[in-house]
Chain A
Amino acid sequence: MSIPLQAYAAYLPSWRIAGISRGNRVVAAFDEDSTTMAAQAAGALLRGVGTRAVVPTLHFATTSPAYLDKTNATAIHAALGLDRGTFAADVIGSARSGVAAIRAAAAQGGLAVLADVRTGRPGSADEKLGGDGAAAFLFGTGPGIAELEARTSLSAEFLDRWRRPQSDTGEQWEERFGFEEYADLVREAVAAVLDDAGLDGADHVVLTSPNSAVNKRVGSLVKGGLSTTGSPIGHAGAADVGLALAAVLDIAGPGETILVVSAADGCDAFLLRTTELLAERRQASPVAAQLASSREVDHLTYLSWRGLVELELPRRPEPDRPAGPPAGRATGWKFGFNGSRCTSCEMAHLPPQRVCRGCGAQDEMSVVPGTRLVGKVATYTVDRLAFSPSPPVLVVVVDFDGGGRASLELADADPNALGVGDRVELTFRRFFTAGNVHNYFWKARPLLAAVSERSK
Chain B
Amino acid sequence: MASNGIRDQVAIVGMGCTRFGERWDQSSDDLLLDAVGECLDSAVGVRKDDIDAYWLGTLNSGQSGLTLSRPLALDYKPVTRVENYCATGSEAFRNACYAVASGAYDRVMAVGVEKLKDSGFSGLLRTDPPSDGTAPELSITAPAAFSLLDPAYCNKYGVDERAMREAMTHVAWKNHRNGALNPKAQFQAEVSREKIEASPTVAGRLGVFDCSGVSDGAAAALIVRAEDALNYTDHPIYVKGLSLAAGPMRGGMDPAYDFTTFPEVQRSARDAYAQAGIEDPLKAFSFAEVHDCFTPTEIVLMEDLGFTPRGQSWKDMLAGDFDLDGRLPINPDGGLKSFGHPVGASGLRMLYEAWLQFQGRAGQRQLADPRLALTHNLGGRPGGCVSFVSVVGNELG
What residues of chain A have their CB less than 8 Å away from a CB belonging to chain B? Answer: 314-317, 319-323, 325-327, 329-330, 333-334, 347-351, 353, 357-358, 378-388, 393, 395, 397, 399, 403-409, 420, 431, 439-441
Contact = CB atoms under 8 A, between A and B. Distances in A.
Contacts of B122: 314-316, 385
B259 A379 contact: yes
B253 A406 contact: yes
Contacts of A441: 133-134
Nearest to A323: B130
Given A407-B252, A420-B151, A315 B121 contact: yes
Given A353-B253, A384-B202, 14 more contacts: A315-B122, A325-B130, A334-B132, A379-B151, A379-B259, A385-B144, A385-B203, A388-B139, A393-B140, A395-B144, A395-B148, A406-B136, A420-B151, A431-B139
B194 interface: no
B254 A357 contact: yes
Interface of B: 119-123, 125, 128, 130-134, 136, 138-141, 143-144, 147-148, 151-152, 155, 201-204, 248, 250, 252-255, 257, 259, 383
B204 A382 contact: yes
B203 A317 contact: no
Nearest to B120: A315
A325 B132 CA distance: 8
Given A349-B253, A420-B151, A420-B155, A383 B140 contact: yes
Contacts of A388: 139
A378 B255 CA distance: 8
Contacts, number: 127
A358 B251 CA distance: 11
Contacts of A405: 252-255, 257
Q: Is the interface of B mostly helix, strand, loop or mixed?
A: loop
Contact of B140 (A378, A386, A403): A386
A388 B136 CA distance: 13
Contact of B132 (A330, A397, A420): A330
B130 A326 contact: yes
Contacts of B202: 384-385
A383 B131 contact: no
By Cβ-Cβ distance, the 5 closest A-B pairs, closest first, are A322-B133, A323-B130, A383-B144, A381-B204, A330-B132
A450 B202 CA distance: 34
A302 B259 CA distance: 35
Contacts of B136: 395, 406-409
Contacts of B254: 347, 357-358, 405
A395 B137 CA distance: 11
Contacts of A379: 148, 151-152, 259
A320 B123 contact: no
A393 B137 CA distance: 12
A377 to B, nearest CB: 11
B326 to A, nearest CB: 30
A368 to B, nearest CB: 13
B138 A319 contact: yes
Contacts of A387: 139
Contacts of B259: 378-379, 397
Point out which of A320, A357, A378, A407 has the most chain B C-beta atoms below 10 A from its C-beta. A407
B152 A382 contact: no
Given A379-B148, A381-B144, A322 B139 contact: no
A325 B202 CA distance: 35
